[in-house]
Amino acid sequence: MAAPLMVRAALAADAIRQNRKERKRDTEPLPVDRTTAIIMAREKLRQVKFRNRLRNGALLTGGTIITVIVGVHFYNKWRKAQSEKNALDGGSGARFALRIKMAFENDYLWGWGVDTDALFKALEDIPDRKTMLRTEAAYFAQNNTPLAADLKDELSIANFEKATGIIDLVKLKT
């Protein structure tokens, strides 16, 4: 029981000292009674506790956001490395995804355009539905864009229809 009284007394004395400093600056009269000083000390303590809670919450939220961003970055990096490692396997979806991306990034003389023959050949070589789904997943893991979005962006309407037709035929295979 004595400890809380000591804390209250210390807080009241602190509030009185702080009040004196502020009053000297403002040239207002010093409060005379003890109850006003205690009320001011309680208010000051409430404000400090609120500021501490607010600061701790902001730090916790900021730290959580940074942790999530860094975690997602390293997860995507790991996933891409795994997909590229799997591209060395002969019939894997990652291999087909790599062939498709290489067809998009051909080495023509001017450095732009799509090697449609290589693209259609890569799509036709996919043996079944399961491998096609793995290819789409691996393509997304390697490039962070869906295969359908890159097909739409890179191909003309006629070539896009042909590519989606090949994909539909592959997905019908069992």
Give tens-digit pLDDT for 88-133. Answer: 776 778 889 988 998 888 766 666 778 888 899 999 999 999 999 9
**What is the average pLDDT across 44-65?**
88
Give tens-digit pLDDT for 137-161. Answer: 989 988 889 999 999 988 999 999 9
> HEC states along 9-54?
HHHHHHHHHHHHHHHHHHCCCCCCCHHHHHHHHHHHHHHHHHHHHH
Rg (CA), the chain: 34
Confidence of residue 23 (pLDDT cuts 50, 70, 90): low
The first and second tokens of residue 22, run together, are 């502020």
Determine the topology of domain 87-172 in CATH.
Annexin V; domain 1 (1.10.220)
Backbone angles phi, psi at 146, to 5 degrees: -65, 150
